[in-house]
Amino acid sequence: MSWLIIIIYVMIEINNKTKAKIDIKLIKKITEKFFAYYKIKNKDVSIAFVGDRMMTRLNNKYRGKNKFTDILSFRGEGDDFGEIIIDYAQIKRQAGKFSKSIKDELIFILTHGLLHLLGHEDKTAEGRINIEKAGNKFVKNL
């Protein structure tokens, strides 16, 4: 009898640069499920949580917009799937605005960022619809 063993290597680095308590286990679990769902293997991803000031600086530097945003995603190459930066304060505000729990908004935004790393774009109306459908489909399968 022979066995074929496949090892899937996934490195998830999570950095919390805020004073907020963030459920790191949840972030890791969602990311792992996303990788499994989309059959992403042998990739590294970095996820950082920052505040409004840092997000404003990054958004200005990389997108030319001098304001904060909820998430920035940077696609990687090779074994590097990419990097996601999330403004946790904005996630909390959006949760209230959309009458969602912070957890649900965080899962939605994290999924949105991971979809960007996968290649989805939302610069057009069609792209926004497609990425939202893909995100909702993934979240329903959790």
Query: Could you tell me if residue 4 is inside a domain?
Result: no
Whether residue 24 is contained in a domain is answered as: yes
Q: For the segment 84-130, what is each residue's pLDDT rounded down to a tens digit?
A: 999 999 999 999 998 989 999 999 999 999 999 999 999 899 999 99
Answer whether residue 74 is part of any domain: yes
The answer on pLDDT for 74 being more than 80 is: yes
C-beta separation of 55 from 90 below 8 A: yes
Domain count, the chain: 1
Q: What is the pTM of this model?
A: 0.89
pLDDT at 1 (0 to 100):
46
Tell me if 6 is assigned to some domain. no
- Quick: pLDDT tens for 4-36: 554 556 789 999 999 999 999 999 999 999 999
Quote the CA–CA distance of 73 and 81 in Å, as a whole number: 10
| 2 lies in some domain | no
41 or 3, which is more confident: 41
Is residue 107 in a domain? Answer: yes
pLDDT for 141: 87
User: What CATH number should be reported for the domain holding residue 69?
Assistant: 3.40.390.30
Confidence of residue 43 (pLDDT cuts 50, 70, 90): very high
Q: At residue 90, what are phi and psi to the nearest 5 degrees?
A: -70, -35
Domain that holds residue 50: 11-140
